[in-house]
Amino acid sequence: MIRVDELQKSYGDFAAVVGSSFSVDAGEIFGIVGPNGAGKTTTLKMISGLIEPSGGSATVAGFDASDPEMRQSLGFLPEESPLYEDMTPRSYLRFFADLYDVPREEAIARTEATLDRLELEYRDRRLGDMSKGMKRKVAIARSLVNDPAVLIYDEPASGLDPLTTNTVLAFTRELKAAGKTVIFSAHNLYHVESICDRLIIMNEGQIIANGSISDLRDEYGTREYQIWATHCPTDLDPAETIDSGDSSSYLYIADTLEDADLLREKITRAGGDILDFRTEESTLESIFLELTGKPMAGSRTIGGSK
């Protein structure tokens, strides 16, 4: 559905994007992440045909990114998306539907259904009088007026409250279920981790990692198995002990599942009970920090328990 080959963009002596190559399958949510200045937005704009690459190529739904026909297959939501503030959501969306030559009745039905799903109630209110969350919902609806096969969402939930953010993320999953292909970029790595099938990590204009979350964990992350028990065999050294007065609990850590099974057997043979057994894995954020050495603006540390 999307293919990027050795894509490059330079501004004078500054290389914003250096030879990026990746592909996105139909019906996939594909993430692009990186620290500020990594080349993410430049890459998205080249794929969208908004800026011309200095080298390489990008194709979307069989069209070269520079082909005006490609735009019929694309919906683009930039990080900053100013709206025509004197219009209402209904008039604004019908205006853009007219630009795509969408028949009026079809446009009305499509935009009303999208606004219903996004729970936008005030559709005849002036856009300039609406909240940021409401405006973002209208911008998302605008990206869908032409019923595109491919969607590029750059920070779709930036600055939104948690409830609106959850609505946007759930809606993005529904777009995938409906067969849409989505490129998704966000600074909040928890959102990326929870929604994307595969992703690339960019740093200083280059792709430094590419794969599914599971692939990235296997290659760059760590995994450990934690066992909490009521007994400490004399030949085991617990990583942590919690003494509650009447009883104690002990934490044991194994690097492999086989070692964890051996620990559990040893504990139970010694008369102990297993209180908890869990797998702790690297989060996308910890992998990101390991690879780039830079925190992601707007990200937060999350637990990796499964």
What is the chain's alpha carbon radius of gyration, rounded to the nearest angstrom?
24
- pLDDT-based confidence at 238, cuts 50/70/90? confident
SS (H, E, C) 224-270: EEEEEECCCCCCCCCCEEEECCCCEEEEEEECCHHHHHHHHHHHHHC
**Torsion angle, alpha carbons of 21, 27, 28, 32, to 10:** 60
The pLDDT tens digits for 60-106 are: 999 999 999 999 999 999 998 889 999 999 999 999 999 999 999 99
Spell out the domains of the chain, with CATH numbers in brackets.
2-217 (3.40.50.300), 223-281 (3.30.1490)
**Phi–psi pair at 185, nearest 5 degrees:** -120, 135
Asked whether the beta carbons of 200 and 271 are under 8 A apart, the reply is no
The pLDDT tens digits for 123-182 are: 999 999 999 999 999 999 999 999 999 999 999 998 888 998 999 999 999 999 999 999
How far is it, in rounded angstroms, from Cα 154 to Cα 187?
10
The whole-number pLDDT of residue 295 equals 59
The pLDDT tens digits for 22-36 are: 999 999 999 999 999
Tokens 């637990």, located at residue: 303
The whole-number pLDDT of residue 272 equals 87
For 241, how many CA atoms within 13 A lie in the half-sphere containing its CB?
10
Asked whether the beta carbons of 226 and 257 are under 8 A apart, the reply is no
pTM above 0.85, yes or no: no
Length of the chain: 306
Question: By C-alpha distance, which of 30, 291, 304 is closest to 190?
Answer: 304
The pLDDT tens digits for 187-221 are: 999 999 999 999 999 999 999 999 999 999 889 98
Q: What's 305's DSSP letter?
A: B
**Phi–psi pair at 135, nearest 5 degrees:** -65, -40
For 251, how many CA atoms within 13 A lie in the half-sphere containing its CB?
11
Asked whether the beta carbons of 19 and 56 are under 8 A apart, the reply is yes
* H-helix segments, the chain: 40-47, 89-99, 104-117, 132-142, 162-177, 189-195, 213-220, 257-269, 284-292
Six-digit token string for 136: 């973002």
Asked whether the beta carbons of 240 and 251 are under 8 A apart, the reply is yes
Q: Is 109 exposed, middle or buried (0-12, 13-18, 19+ CB in 10 A)?
A: exposed
Classified as helix, coil or strand, 7 is strand
> Is the model more confident about 299 or about 137?
137
